[in-house]
Amino acid sequence: MSLIERFLRYVKIDTTADPESNQVPSSPSQLVFAKELANELKAMGLQAVEVSQYGYVTATLPANTDEPRPTIGFIAHMDTSPDMSGKDVNPQIIRQYNGGDILLDPVAGVVLSPTEFPELLLYQGQDLICTDGKTLLGADDKAGLAEIVTAMEYLMAHPEIKHGPIRIGFTPDEEIGQGPDHFDVAAFGADWAYTIDGGEIGELEYENFNAAGAKVIVKGRNVHPGYAKHKMLNAIRIANQFASMLPRYDTPEHTEAYEGFYHLTSFHGDVEQAVMSYIIRDHDRDRFERRKKELEHLTRKLNNEFGPNTVTLELKDQYYNMREKIEPDNMHVIVLALKAMEAAGVKPKVRPIRGGTDGSRLSFMGLPCPNIFAGGHNFHGRFEFVPIPSMEKATQVIVKIAELASPVVKPD
């Protein structure tokens, strides 16, 4: 099966993660997909193929050389974002993109335009896979899945390419921050790994946000508005006051590169109670800690103004910057990826992730795990697309990593 045939088959399987679920995986379809992937890997001839009770797929491509080599892992996630429907995905291929507007949905008038998405112009003359304007595409991260499986298939068909043991791992629920929750690093048994979960061609990322989630709960007191003076506490107004006290421009729409932010993701309530959900992000650990302290400070300040326990803050760390685990002792992992990209004719683009991957938590769990491009753009929405040559290059990079990994770069 070709890379593109495999990808098109994967994206048509609905594996949307469910943030409201208490099950693992969060949606039953992910477990169904996991079993399908396992059957495919077994049919290819991979060994030690397993599906855990939580839907994690692992498999091994054994070494084909007696030379001692490190065990390398390649990881991708099976779920798609709940931000937009992943059901009934109907991908379309735009042949030799001409640089103009792409009409995704003629009925609804949904257009993918370089005016709004100038990165399209980087891919003139290439074949692109787009949505039909009604769903997301699912290249995040089914492009990564297809690239890893296709690379393993290629290595098995070309035994002249010598490599050490290779472990692959497919995780559920990455999109809701739970991908590594039940990942058994010791059983996986890799010296290091790569998530194939990045964006445009050439991306190599070993820095990501430090991340926390916050819930701000405001308790109000409802009184007839005609007789409310010095009695009513309007939870909506107090919550709005909390939000307005945060730095105005420390938000996603005003930041880039290494700049952190507070992001208000939901706000609902009435006079009696209002609830706000935030995510807090910063690459620098000290600034990250100061951002959390600022939320605690505002909570105390409003409680001093409106009364004890008017505002309650629930704050929870989610993941940390993997740079802390990569840079001191594991830069050989990055050097190998850079060499593999260059050997595959890909210009590396080393940049920080304005987000997180499974690899960020896995690095803190003892598995150094930077992130490599899968090729897609505009994830999580109807304007998502992936250039076919980028997917092909990602597959080649995986093969080159396997080929170039040697005892020279294995940790002492």
> Is the domain of 157 the same as that of 34?
yes
User: Terminal CA-to-CA distance of the chain, rounded, Å?
Assistant: 39
Q: Which pLDDT value is given to residue 411? A: 44
Mean pLDDT, all residues of the chain: 96
Determine the Cα–Cα distance for residues 353 and 200; give it in Å rounded to an integer.
Answer: 12
* DSSP structural state of residue 407: G
pLDDT bin (cut points 50, 70, 90) of residue 410 is: very low
Nearest to 407 by CA among 68, 165, 73, 61: 68
Domain boundary among 268, 296, 319: 319
> Is the domain of 174 the same as that of 233?
no
Determine whether 289 is an active site residue. no
Cβ–Cβ under 8 Å, residues 150 and 3: yes
- Token pair 């940390």: residue: 320
Q: Is pLDDT of 30 > 90?
A: yes
- Token pair 């001409």: residue: 98
Q: Which pLDDT value is given to residue 12? A: 97
> Is the domain of 149 the same as that of 202?
yes
Beta-bridge mates of residue 57: 51, 170
Determine the Cα–Cα distance for residues 43 and 397; give it in Å rounded to an integer.
Answer: 24
Report CA dihedral (129, 133, 139, 140) to the nearest 10 degrees: 160
> Is the domain of 367 the same as that of 275?
no
Number of domains in the chain: 2
- DSSP-H helix ranges across 246-367: 285-306, 323-326, 331-343, 358-364
> Is the domain of 54 the same as that of 158?
yes
Q: What is the CA radius of gyration of the chain?
A: 23
> Is the domain of 344 the same as that of 196?
yes
Question: What tokens appear for 209 in the block?
Answer: 């946000």
Which entry of 140, 147, 173, 174 is annotated as an active-site residue? 174
Nearest to 190 by CA among 169, 170, 175: 169
Give residue-wise pLDDT tens across range 107-127: 999 999 999 999 999 999 999
Q: Is-above-0.85 flag for pTM? A: yes
Determine the Cα–Cα distance for residues 140 and 80; give it in Å rounded to an integer.
Answer: 7
Whether residue 141 is preceded by a cis peptide bond, meaning omega within 30 degrees of 0, is yes
DSSP 36-47: HHHHHHHHHT-E
> Is the domain of 390 the same as that of 275?
no
Sequence length of the chain is 412
CA 6 to chain centre: 21
Give residue-wise pLDDT tens across range 312-346: 999 999 999 999 999 989 999 999 999 999 999 99
> Is the domain of 133 the same as that of 196?
yes
Provide mean pLDDT across the span 165-188.
Answer: 95
Which entry of 79, 140, 147, 203 is annotated as an active-site residue? 79
- Token pair 């798609």: residue: 80
Q: Which pLDDT value is given to residue 406? A: 79
State percent of the chain over pLDDT 90.
Answer: 94
Domain boundary among 319, 344, 365: 319
> Is the domain of 144 the same as that of 186?
yes
Secondary structure of residue 278 in the 3-state scheme: strand
Provide mean pLDDT across the span 203-227.
Answer: 96
Nearest to 282 by CA among 377, 212, 177: 212
Question: What tokens appear for 230 in the block?
Answer: 């010095």
Whether residue 308 is preceded by a cis peptide bond, meaning omega within 30 degrees of 0, is no
Give residue-wise pLDDT tens across range 34-47: 999 999 999 999 99
Q: Is pLDDT of 253 > 80?
A: yes
Q: Which pLDDT value is given to residue 357? A: 83
CATH at 223: 3.30.70.360
Cβ–Cβ under 8 Å, residues 124 and 98: yes
Determine the Cα–Cα distance for residues 281 and 51; give it in Å rounded to an integer.
Answer: 33
Provide mean pLDDT across the span 357-383.
Answer: 95
Domain boundary among 269, 298, 319: 319
Q: Which residue has the higher pLDDT, 205 or 409?
A: 205
Determine whether 191 is an active site residue. no
Q: Which pLDDT value is given to residue 204? A: 97
Helix (H) or strand (E) holding 330, with range, is none
Amino acid 69 reads: R
Note down the domain range covering 86: 3-207+322-409
